[in-house]
Amino acid sequence: MTNRAGHPREKADFRTRRRRRRLLTLLTAVWIGLQTASPAPSSLPRKSAPGADPVLKTVEAAALRSILKKNRGKVVLINLWATWCVPCREEFPDLLKLHGKFRDRGLELILISVDTSEQRPQVEAFLKENGVTFPTYINAEENYEDLISFLAPDWIGGFPTTFVIDRKGRLTRSLVGGQNYEVFHKAVAPLL
């Protein structure tokens, strides 16, 4: 046993918590994957794309830090989602509706897919089907938990997750699980 200066006991506790969080995330992803395997094409939301292809960029924690810095002064919603996640696909139109309504009042929506790089074509197709033409992101970290830990070290896992960040760059809320327009509106409106 040692003191709080980062000695073995504290490091071991941190590693244990991190391992548990990774295990919970893995189990959640597997469970969701089993629940959503081979969704019927009709279950995907359909919108006519306005013609432009989505701009999908890779992002790591360091780049996300820079993106957040550029958006200081705005209210930012960071939504972590995946094409294999049914609740992610279900809440997507509400996120886009909220962004459309409050974009002019300083709301920025940052969409980050945690799909693998091999799933990039599915991510691009989903974004196009939903008419997304603003830049969006796909995780480039070896483990998406590294990206999430940058945002919320105590994240317990689960997708979708939406982080609400105020104009000063502070995390004000984490919304884990599928949400709807009313929940997003309630989280964002007081900050605008």
In which residue are the tokens 């509106």 written?
185
* Residues 6+ positions from 63 with CB-CB distance below 8 Å: 140
Predicted TM-score (pTM) of the model is 0.72
In which residue are the tokens 């990206």 written?
147
- Residue 171 phi/psi, 5° resolution? -70, 120
Domain boundaries, the chain: 1-30, 55-191
Residue-wise pLDDT for 51-104, tens only, equals 567 889 998 888 888 898 999 999 999 999 999 999 999 999 999 999 999 999
Task: Report the top-level CATH class of 55-191.
Answer: alpha beta
Total residue count of the chain as it appears in this document: 192
Between CA 173 and CA 94 the distance in angstroms is 18
For the ranges 1-10, 145-154, 157-166, which has the lowest average pLDDT?
Answer: 1-10
Instruction: Tell me if residue 163 falls in helix, strand or coil.
Output: strand
